[in-house]
Structure 1
Amino acid sequence: MPHHLRILLTLTFAFFLLSTPQLDAQDKGFAIPETNQGLAGDGPIRRYDWFRNLWQNRRANWSKQVEKDQGAVVFLGDSITQGWGDNMGGSFGKLKVANRGISGDTTRGMLIRLDEDVLSLNPQAVVMLMGTNDLEEKAEPETIAANVKLIIAELKQHDPKMPIILCKVFPSSEKKSRSAEKIKKINELYEQVAHGDPQVIVLETWLPFADENGDAKAEEFPDLLHPNKQGYAKWAAALMPIFATLGYVETEADNWEPEPGFESLYNGKDLTGWMFKANPERKGKKIALAWPIFEEDITFDGKTESIDGRYKAVGDRIVVTTPAEGRRIQQMWTEREFPKDFVLKLEFRATPNADSGVFIRAPQLQCRDYPLAGPYKELKNYKPQDWNELVVEVTGNTARCTCNGEVLEEAFKLPETGPIGLEGDRGQMEYRHIQVKETK
């Protein structure tokens, strides 16, 4: 090799060493264990050179900001989480967040770094998105779900009241060694892991992104694995209603007043005027879904939530929370009935694929995340995970029902009289600005 080239290479290598962050002895304690022996969980732990360096550097840097990140909402995941940026792209305003995503990480890797990277921050909540890299390493869905179960158990042991938001695995592609079949199986197992646990909120983050084949859409996942700006915006929109219900965002007082001639059916502070109606007729009936039975009417005057916490008064809205069972049928009714002609107006916001309904004198008008849950999938004005206006104009025994001005039902059949109700089924639904005006 010519002398001048040898000198150039020597200088280049020296510059590389000087410009690469050097880890002290304490920082090197964040290295990946050399073997799996004695480690919690099961399945793959990556040890590629690039991953070792990334894992060690990110964890060492995080260890220097533990005090700063105390009480944050912690996002735990892999490259999809890491790629959102340190403050999650500023998607949640002033909410304190901490990004603990490491590109390439697996569920077992996240389990063994959980204590130092997450629990040390004493989070106010944890958002989990994980599992896709395990598939590339040929792990089975059952192994992945078992690791997630262990992570949830440790989070719960650390703080038995801290909300845990478990996001379903995003769609990808067989080309990325992540088939739709395997991802759907993981998500089914995640639902089973969380079933019956009120501390864990399973968020539907597969359906909003999947195409007709169950794979990622190129316009949101250009490489069929990582979301672009549009994809991250949809993820943020899915999380926002949950954060609002938890009191993390949208905390400013609402100055809304009913329109002239209308009266509000919600006083903005508690569930006065609302009730669970007795439904003993359901006794003995077999149904695959949870459906609570009440022997007598239960009113909520002066109460900020229903007896089981499913319905909550949260600032300017009534929230029907995500059921721990995945699906649970419940119905909350006004104490008064409406025999006269009237106009009902309200706004609603649904998490992805949420299923709810508004009862008009008893018959149910489906009120859902329509594009995913139906039945009105072709609406052009519907705004997913945003506020939408429902207007019901009752004349005699029929009602004309619209959403953001588009007709849902032109002549919805009704009985002579009855209350107004809000159903709970799947996902979370919020209702606000609930107002009614008698027209006859």
Structure 2
Amino acid sequence: MKKFFTLLILGIFPICNYSQDTTMNKDWPNLNKYAKENSQLATTNTVVFMGDSITEFWKVNDESYFNCNSYINRGISGQTTPQMLLRFRQDVIELNPSVVVILAGINDIAENTGPISIESIMENIISMVELAKANKIKVILCTVLPANHFNWNPKLEPADKVIALNHLISNYAKKNKITCVDYYAAMVDDEKGLPIIYSADGVHPNLEGYKVMEVLVQKGISTYLKK
């Protein structure tokens, strides 16, 4: 009997993994996640937040921030910049916003979809910016939040890569006269990480963390919308 259950368990897990991989292969950028919701939106003069889990969980932690301001959250947990770039037209441009807030890159550093250079991450971010500009959408670029470890990929030491990417983001924004919201500087601790007051796992903000981010990003959004 024990042998039977062992074989059964060993058989089930490969099937589950295969199913997840198959889903990703069919819809790698996860275009289906917001497709129905997008089709039901009638948006004008609004703001779209494009990002990964940090953006997606923002609405979970503080739904009122998005609802009261009529902001649209298009974060998808685990995503990297090439995935965001592939869905940028559907989840941002076609919603016809006035402003897009882009927070991206931490999952690339975590190698969620494989190793990638800091320069290639930045190129993907630049491509999203150029798509937005071509469609008359104002851009707010955000520095990546501090992180000095990943629970799901403990072999990596991300702190210095986060700093390097943020340097590229800040310089590009300054050179191209794009509003840059510096979450990193406002939230980093003396170990180049995200302090426990703002996060339980050192990567994803809690409500206190999101409140800090809201104050910072709202200044940039207000400037654009007033214009």
Interval of TM-score (by shorter of Structure 1 and Structure 2):
0.7 to 0.9
Structure 1: which amino acid aligns with 2:195?
Answer: K
Aligned position for 2:129: 152
Larger radius of gyration: 1
Is the aligned partner of 1:91 residue 2:69?
A: no
Give the conservation status (yes or no) of the 8 Å contact 1:76–1:99: yes
Aligned position for 1:218: 196
The separation in 2 between residues aligned to 1:141 and 1:100, in whole angstroms, is 23
User: 1:60 pairs with 35, 55, 61, which one?
Assistant: 35
The separation in 1 between residues aligned to 2:61 and 2:45, in whole angstroms, is 14
How far is 1:93 from its partner?
7.0
Relative to 1, partners in 2 of residues 1:89 and 1:170: Cα closer, same or farther, differing over 3 Å?
same
Three-state SS of the structure 1 residue aligned to 2:58 is coil
After superposing the two structures, state which structure 1 stretch, 88-97 or 234-243, moved more: 88-97
The separation in 1 between residues aligned to 2:215 and 2:54, in whole angstroms, is 16
Structure 2: which amino acid aligns with 1:146?
Answer: E
Q: Which consecutive residues of structure 1, in runs of 5 or more, have no partner in the other structure?
A: 2-46, 249-313, 315-440
Relative to 1, partners in 2 of residues 1:48 and 1:238: Cα closer, same or farther, differing over 3 Å?
farther
How far is 1:114 from its partner?
0.8
Relative to 1, partners in 2 of residues 1:169 and 1:50: Cα closer, same or farther, differing over 3 Å?
farther
After superposing the two structures, state which structure 1 stretch, 175-184 or 110-119, moved more: 175-184
The separation in 1 between residues aligned to 2:150 and 2:60, in whole angstroms, is 29
How far is 1:64 from its partner?
2.4
Give the conservation status (yes or no) of the 8 Å contact 2:46–2:97: yes
How far is 1:104 from its partner?
0.8
Structure 2: which amino acid aligns with 1:154?
Answer: L
How far is 1:68 from its partner?
2.4
User: 1:134 pairs with 108, 115, 125, which one?
Assistant: 108
How far is 1:192 from its partner?
2.6
User: 1:241 pairs with 216, 219, 225, which one?
Assistant: 219
Q: Return the structure number with greater relative CO, CA threshold 8 A, min gap 6.
A: 2
Give the conservation status (yes or no) of the 8 Å contact 1:180–1:214: yes
User: 1:209 pairs with 171, 174, 187, which one?
Assistant: 187
Residues 37-63 of structure 1: per-residue CA shift (max 9 Å, x gap): xxxxxxxxxx84676599254132333
User: 2:84 pairs with 107, 110, 116, which one?
Assistant: 110
Give the conservation status (yes or no) of the 8 Å contact 1:145–1:193: no
The separation in 1 between residues aligned to 2:157 and 2:50, in whole angstroms, is 20
Give the conservation status (yes or no) of the 8 Å contact 1:88–1:97: no
Give the conservation status (yes or no) of the 8 Å contact 1:168–1:204: yes
Three-state SS of the structure 1 residue aligned to 2:72 is strand
Give the conservation status (yes or no) of the 8 Å contact 2:187–2:194: yes
Structure 2: which amino acid aligns with 1:166?
Answer: L
Aligned position for 1:122: 96
Structure 2: which amino acid aligns with 1:196?
Answer: K
Q: CA RMSD in A?
A: 2.6
Residues 370-426 of structure 1: per-residue CA shift (max 9 Å, x gap): xxxxxxxxxxxxxxxxxxxxxxxxxxxxxxxxxxxxxxxxxxxxxxxxxxxxxxxxx
The separation in 1 between residues aligned to 2:181 and 2:31, in whole angstroms, is 30
The separation in 1 between residues aligned to 2:76 and 2:23, in whole angstroms, is 12
Whose helix proportion is higher, 1 or 2? Answer: 2
Is the aligned partner of 1:163 residue 2:138?
A: yes
Q: Which aligned segments of 4 or more residues in structure 1 are displaced greater than 6 angstroms?
A: none
TM-score of the superposition, structure 2-length normalised? 0.78
Aligned position for 1:186: 165
Residue pairs, 1:74-89, within 5 angstroms: 74-85=48-59, 89=63
Aligned position for 2:11: none
Give the conservation status (yes or no) of the 8 Å contact 2:29–2:87: no
Give the conservation status (yes or no) of the 8 Å contact 1:87–1:99: no
How far is 1:178 from its partner?
5.4
The separation in 2 between residues aligned to 1:81 and 1:63, in whole angstroms, is 17
The separation in 2 between residues aligned to 1:157 and 1:59, in whole angstroms, is 23
TM-score of the superposition, structure 1-length normalised? 0.42
Relative to 1, partners in 2 of residues 1:244 and 1:141: Cα closer, same or farther, differing over 3 Å?
same
Three-state SS of the structure 1 residue aligned to 2:59 is coil
Give the conservation status (yes or no) of the 8 Å contact 1:221–1:227: yes
Aligned position for 1:350: none
Residues 156-183 of structure 1: per-residue CA shift (max 9 Å, x gap): 1111xx3211010001123443511000
- Identity between Structure 1 and Structure 2 (%): 30
Residues 234-264 of structure 1: per-residue CA shift (max 9 Å, x gap): 100111222333346xxxxxxxxxxxxxxxx
The separation in 2 between residues aligned to 1:154 and 1:178, in whole angstroms, is 32
The separation in 2 between residues aligned to 1:83 and 1:231, in whole angstroms, is 12
